[in-house]
Amino acid sequence: MHELSIMESTLEIAINYAKREKAKSIKQISLKIGELSGVIPSALEFAFDVITKNTIAENAILKIENIPVCCYCQSCEDKFYPPIQYIFECPFCHQLSHHILQGKEIQLSSLEIEN
């Protein structure tokens, strides 16, 4: 379960930032998780509930935004969203594309703190 280590690293970053800002608590942590990141959002939520105990983020809300896969076709120079089966074929020219613009990210996108 690599979600636990991802959440531990994310919480460490958030707490370090909050301490630099002299925050009393962390109210919300927002993440962007790509569909191809290999991360299971529900496992992140479980890990978050476990590791925030007895920290300044104990009562924080975890907000997760799922980022869909978006590809770029070099043949017709257009962006497209592949179907759920992840066949990276351009719907316009039908060339196979492996140039993924988004969908692999794991990003701490925002942090809400209370001073």
Q: Is 1 exposed, middle or buried (0-12, 13-18, 19+ CB in 10 A)?
A: exposed
Residues 6+ apart with CB under 8 A from 72: 78, 79, 80, 97, 99, 100, 101
Is 76 labeled as ligand-binding? yes
Cα Rg of the chain (Å, integer): 18
Can you name the residues that pair with 34 across neighbouring β-strands?
Answer: 67
**Is residue 90 a known part of a binding site?**
yes
Cβ-contact 24, 111 below 8 angstroms: no
Does the annotation place 2 within a ligand binding site? yes
Sequence ranges of the binding site: 2, 73, 76, 90, 93
Sequence ranges of the binding site for Zn(2+): 73, 76, 90, 93
Sequence ranges of the binding site for Ni(2+): 2
